[in-house]
Structure 1
């Protein structure tokens, strides 16, 4: 029995070095934004300017789009980066968190009350979810929080999958606070990316080189802090599941 549990845990928690590699690649990708900006900077600017023309409805529109993306399994990282480029770090992360929270709540309700059979059939593709299903019945809020902090499963999939567990809706929603670190990181990345693409696209910028150096260093520091949080969450989740 112990070997089976260990095997399940091993399947849930992949090599941590892979996560570091992914985050390192995301930082390296920043340089690619300059090249991309040469080709697509103008299109991005038009899109952002269109959203910006909506005035007070711009945040509402973004939140609604994010909710729809969450429900339809569209990756939210690009949308979060767009929020950072459009609204800035604080507002971008906040609007992302609001959209993700509403979307995840709706997905939970759909899975639990409206489309349970369909979601259960989809779960067959994720046999490692059985380990999470057992643990969440014991410590719902703690497990949900750790799952949000540690991206063991895809965000959109997790929203529906948790609706099939015994976790209460209250514990599920409280665990949404674990989405904040990722929201901040991607919004920060988007804020910086937006500036870089604007600069690369030929649009005048009033910011000097020191501004971009500071932004890049801040991004690296934010990524490192987030990775520390993720690794701590992985360890805590592993310990909870083995206890």
Structure 2
């Protein structure tokens, strides 16, 4: 019990360090790209979602984009836009894997024991297996999207289970982005004391989000182990 509690504290500390590092580097290329999206005004959410979907299909990691959503849109709207985008991207990759690139995907995952076991597990568990693998960090997100296209899972079950299972990590990474943006603004003095206060309040909420995400991940990993 003490060991697991210590692990949670270590993960929270590591996540906070990540916030500080991202915040310090916010003035680089990522900042320029995010500013370009933000400058689109009302079209910014649609542009962001479109870019995110394309990234999913092209095997480009979405974590940086998810953090960027927190910088541009804040925690609430950033989480909503990423949730829509990641689910749409996962669905697009699923459909490509099922109907257009079955042989290529099969070759990509051939020899991977984890993915070989997914099809049989999906046949037994259905949407539950999709949900659990989304909660577990063991399975790479982009490749998993295509791999599920080769299984017998129904599209509707896949979409709903993926949406729910990706939510903890989505909110966590968006929170990192929101905190990083607040930290950058506080450091530059652009928002004065209000930025400092907002950053502290968001940090408290972020710590709670980390705890929930870690707990959900542990539940998913434990359930997958029991089904192995």
TM-score bucket of the superposed structures, by smaller chain: 0.7 to 0.9
Runs of 4 or more, structure 1, over 4 Å off, are 19-24, 43-46
Q: Distance in 2 between matches of 1:162 and 1:32?
A: 35
Matches within 5 A, 1:1-243: 24-37=13-26, 40=27, 45-176=31-162, 177-201=164-188, 203-207=190-194, 209-239=196-226, 241-242=227-228
Contact 1:33 1:197 in 2 (8 A): no
Q: Distance in 1 between matches of 2:19 and 2:179?
A: 9
Kept in 2: contact 1:136–1:166 (CA 8 A)? yes
Q: How many residues align?
A: 222
Q: Deviations over 1:184-216 (max 9, x none)?
A: 111111111111123334534342544323322
CA RMSD of aligned residues (A): 2.3
Contact 2:168/2:212 (CA < 8 Å) preserved in 1? no
Q: Distance in 2 between the 1:116 and 1:23 partners?
A: 40
How far apart, in 2, do the equivalents of 1:112 and 1:34 lie?
A: 40
Could you say which structure has the larger radius of gyration?
1
**Cα gap change, 1:132 to 1:23, in 2 (>3 Å):** farther
1:23 Cα shift?
A: 6.0
Supply the distance in 2 between the matched residues of 1:179 and 1:117 (Cα, whole angstroms). 27
- Where 1:191 maps in the other structure, the secondary structure is helix
Would the alpha carbon gap of residues 104 and 75 (structure 1) be closer, same or farther in structure 2, given more than 3 Å must change? same
* Kept in 1: contact 2:57–2:89 (CA 8 A): yes
8 A Cα contact 1:112 1:164, kept in partner: yes
Q: Which runs of 5+ in 1 are unaligned?
A: 1-15
